[in-house]
Amino acid sequence: MARDDVASLSRQVHAGLRDLILNGSLPAGERLVELQLTRTFGVSRSPVRQALEQLEADGLVTSLGRKGFFVAGQAGEAMTPNPVPLDRVCLDQSRQWERIYAEVEQAVLAAVLRQQVRINELRLAEHFDVSRSVTRDVLARMHAVGLIDKSRSGTWIAEHVTPRRVRDLYDLRALLEPAALELAAPLLRPAAISEARSRIADLLQKESVDSASFDRIERDLHVDLLGACPNQAIVRALERTHILFAPTRHLFDPVLSIPMDQIGDALHEHLEILELLSLGETALAARQLHGHLTGAVERWLGRFEKELPRIGSAIPPYLS
């Protein structure tokens, strides 16, 4: 984890413990155990240790060497030998896993374009200096989008992404997305459709598009609007195909952007589908979506072939 991130978590732990001490929830003499605090706050040892050291500098806790830290009190007060039972403190856990998710996703995706890899959960936690609960959130998210699966032995595996697998995922999308669109259409806000159309119209005025903007266009239709489908079984099945959106976020050069001649057709097709939706032509929009997905697989593979040579082969220590 970056030094700034550890410092940020340390400040949160420090503030939480300081409040508990000052309001009397942690009385003088109570023992504070580092390991217990990592579980309470859902962070690794580093930010806890820094927080305790700062509290000692503030005069709020006292270090007794191997006995650990105790809440400071008046001279002569006995120190309680057992750690105080703390309620779980609610830090912003979503920010913690999101902080490292993009980097992990990018590393895994780059690796599976060349080979199958295993993810070591302990090494992942150590590499980013986060708690196991944070890494579990990261892995759960990657599993939800179809990037990783668990083997029979319980090991997290990311399969090699081959052209055959890409075609299979697009076949699944072509079967399910049109049906999801027809079910979702009556529930969609007109404003949501209008906003998505406006974003595409703005991009079509440019000669090239940055990866983040194109990713937003993809997600507008294929994730956000289809996510309104009331059949959650279809929505969950489609989540397993969202690995197909990851290359747009990570593999296409964010500085050079994507030339319009590579994505212009896709943008126009998205716009046509949205315009049909806005006119209430749901069945026709669903047919157009099916056609869009049938042609999209070749565009995906074509962009992938152009980018693969610049993707490095080195992998981080938590992958093997």
3-state secondary structure (DSSP) of residue 117: strand
- 298 and 197 housed in the same domain: yes
Single out the residue of 77, 83, 104 nearest to residue 246, CA to CA: 104
User: Domain range holding 122?
Assistant: 93-158
Identify whether residues 169 and 291 lie together within a single domain. yes
* CB neighbour class for 230 (10 Å; exposed up to 12, middle 13-18, buried from 19): exposed
Domain tally for the chain? 3
% of the chain exceeding 70 in pLDDT: 84
Could you tell me if 153 and 185 lie in one domain?
no
Torsion of CA 246, 250, 256, 257, to 10 degrees: 20
The pLDDT assigned to 313 comes to 73
CATH number of the domain within which 304 lies: 1.20.120.530
Considering the domain architecture, whether residues 48 and 112 belong to the same structural domain is answered as no
- Per the prediction, the chain carries an average pLDDT of 84
Query: Is 85 part of a structural domain of the chain?
Result: no
Residue 105 belongs to some domain of the structure: yes
- Element of type H or E holding 118: strand 117-119
Residues 178 and 302 in one domain: yes
Q: What is the pLDDT of residues 201-252, one digit of tens each?
A: 999 998 877 777 888 999 999 999 999 999 999 999 998 898 888 766 665 5
Shared domain for 234 and 182, answered yes or no, is yes
Task: Kindly report, residue by residue over 295-315, the tens digit of the pLDDT.
Answer: 999 888 887 777 677 766 789
Residue 80 reports pLDDT greater than 60:
no
pLDDT in tens, 134-181: 888 899 888 888 889 999 998 999 998 889 999 999 999 999 999 999
Statement to judge: residues 150 and 230 lie in one domain: no
Tell me how far apart the alpha carbons of residues 258 and 215 are, in angstroms, rounded to a whole number.
11
* Confidence tier at 32 by pLDDT (50, 70, 90): confident
209 and 301 in a common domain: yes
Residue with the larger pLDDT of the pair 320 and 247: 320
CA distance 302 to 307: 9
Tell me: do 170 and 263 sit in the same domain.
yes
Whether 148 and 139 have beta carbons less than 8 Å apart is answered as: yes
In a domain, 229, yes or no: yes
pLDDT for position 175: 98
pTM value? 0.67
Q: Are residue 141 and residue 174 in the same domain, yes or no?
A: no
Same domain, 178 and 303: yes
Give the pLDDT confidence score for residue 3 in this predicted structure: 53
260 assigned to some structural domain: yes
DSSP 226-256: GGG-S-HHHHHHHHTTGGGGHHHHHTS-TTT
- List alpha helices for the chain, DSSP H: 3-22, 34-41, 45-57, 93-112, 121-128, 132-144, 163-184, 190-203, 211-219, 232-239, 246-250, 260-278, 282-307
What is the sign, positive or negative, of the torsion defined by CA atoms of 51, 52, 55, 60? Answer: positive
Helix 163-184 and helix 232-239, axial crossing angle in degrees, nearest 10: 150
Does 170 lie in the same domain as 294? yes
- CATH code at position 123: 1.10.10.10
Quick: pLDDT tens for 256-288: 456 677 788 899 999 999 999 999 999 999 999
pLDDT above 90 (res 184): yes
